[in-house]
Amino acid sequence: MKKIAICAVAVFAMFFTACEFKDSAATKETQKVLAQQDQYAKGQPVPAFNWSLERDLIIQLYHIRNKNVATHTVWRSDYGLIEGDCASIGYGIPYDTSLTNPLMATGEDQRWYNKGALTSIEQAEPNGIFASKNTTATWIMSVCKITGQIAPLYIESKVTVYPYPVRVDYVTNRVTKAGESSTLINIK
């Protein structure tokens, strides 16, 4: 019995020595990386801006996407050949866009932890939806030329939505602008 206890203590000691060695090497490496990042922060600090053109453009894009704007949609095959087109409203909605959060925290305290680890959950975009990250399939809001009603089209091909009328030439596989844009972004 004493031999088993001595063997167990020896195995236990070897295990912790090996773990300590691994942790020690990992700790040293982590410290070097953090020291390098500190040096970058001193020598090349992240810039801070009072205003951002890109942020302003995104904000304006959200405003445009939230309006009822006339568009024209063209979809193409994987080989780039035009498969179809239609007058449309809006800019298309990725197929698996969701109104509710597609992720859910799990674990003992679902709001904050997953077995002791922090959990990240998605946040809705400013327009109140959870944007797709998984598909190229798109819902297009096609406008019926006769009734003016909207018919949702599900399209799995690559979609281009134009903010102006276009001419589509299926023979030459070309799309050309045929009028003025229904909406514009202002440069400030």
Residue 149 and residue 172 in one domain: yes
Residue 109 and residue 166 in one domain: no
Residue 126 and residue 84 in one domain: no
89-142: per-residue pLDDT in tens? 999 998 988 888 877 666 555 555 545 556 667 888 888 888 877 888 999 999
Residue 78 and residue 122 in one domain: no
Cα dist from 176 to 109, 158, 185, whole Å: 56, 18, 21
Cβ neighbour number for residue 90 with a 10 Å cutoff: 19
Give the contacts of 97 (CB within 8 A, at least 6 positions apart).
Answer: 129, 130, 131, 132
Domain limits at 105? Answer: 98-131
Q: How far apart are CA 134 and CA 68, in angstroms?
A: 26
Residue 80 and residue 144 in one domain: yes
Min mean pLDDT across 28-32, 98-102, 157-161, 168-172 is at 98-102
Q: What is the tally of structural domains in the chain?
A: 3
Tokens describing residue 67: 């309006």
Q: How far apart are CA 132 and CA 139, in angstroms?
A: 12
Q: What is the mean pLDDT of residues 172-177?
A: 97
Residue 78 and residue 120 in one domain: no
Residue 159 and residue 178 in one domain: yes
Q: How far apart are CA 92 and CA 150, in angstroms?
A: 13
Residue 127 and residue 139 in one domain: no
Q: What is the mean pLDDT of residues 25-29?
A: 86
Q: What is the mean pLDDT of residues 148-165?
A: 95
Cβ neighbour number for residue 65 with a 10 Å cutoff: 16
Residue 9 and residue 44 in one domain: yes
Residue 43 and residue 106 in one domain: no
Q: How far apart are CA 28 and CA 8, in angstroms?
A: 30
Residue 112 and residue 161 in one domain: no
pTM of the prediction? Answer: 0.69
